[in-house]
Amino acid sequence: MVDFSGVQVDNVTLDEAVARIEMMIASGKPHLVTTPNPEMIVAAQDDVELREIVNKADLRIPDGISMVVVSRILGASLKERVSGIDLMMKLIEVSALKGYSIFLLGSAPGVAEEAAENLLNRYPGLKIVGTYDGYFRDDSEVIPKIVEAEPDLLFAGLGAGRQEKWLDHHLAELKTVGMGIGGSLDVISGRKKRAPEWVRAMYIEWLYRLITEPQRWKRQLALPKFLYLTLIKKML
């Protein structure tokens, strides 16, 4: 485990994360998987509830290359970055092979269905037992559908912060392994493009997002704040 200004992150590789989640599925008990990144770590400084939820989660993957760099400078040495969408896609691949069922929750109306269609085309054996958009006003609209579907994995794309709190509040009754996935459904549906592989390999996916979605510039301010909190402040 590595601590980033009070936010705890598990030191796992992608394969290790998948193995731990498979153990969660096998247990038949509800579990929470979170994807802390610099933006979430900065937000958690003021949002005590979010910080507590992330810290008590059953798995907290290091979703940010800057987290790996900072950890190595400070001597903690995270093994690798494990992005939320990479973990999600690996779990979907494993689910198609082993028969785990999944439920897709989140994004605008129609997005989860489009994502499901694309996933089924790519993984014909995949068991998608339900989809629902993230614009519901009342939890009673969606919870009975998830309970009835009995998914092994619930991927919730409700936006960072909201999705972690929602999952934490409801996993006991949903009885599944829940994971927050941010905007991954928008990418999987094809409505948004992920950075090319060569961009990801150079660790400048953040720059690609800023160029292609300039409206995100305020969110990018989290990176210098993260560096200040986790590195510069400790070195002063």
Domain range list for the chain:
2-190
Residue 186: enclosing H or E segment and its boundaries?
helix 184-189
Convert the pLDDT of each residue in 114-171 to its tens digit. 999 999 999 989 999 999 999 998 999 999 999 999 999 999 999 989 999 999 999 9
The amino acid occupying position 3 is D
Q: Is the whole model's pTM more than 0.85, yes or no?
A: yes
Q: How far apart are CA 75 and CA 117, in angstroms?
A: 44
Q: How far apart are CA 7 and CA 2, in angstroms?
A: 8
Convert the pLDDT of each residue in 82-93 to its tens digit. 999 999 999 999
**Residue-wise DSSP of 24-60:** HHHHTS-EEEE---HHHHHHHHH-HHHHHHHHHSSEE
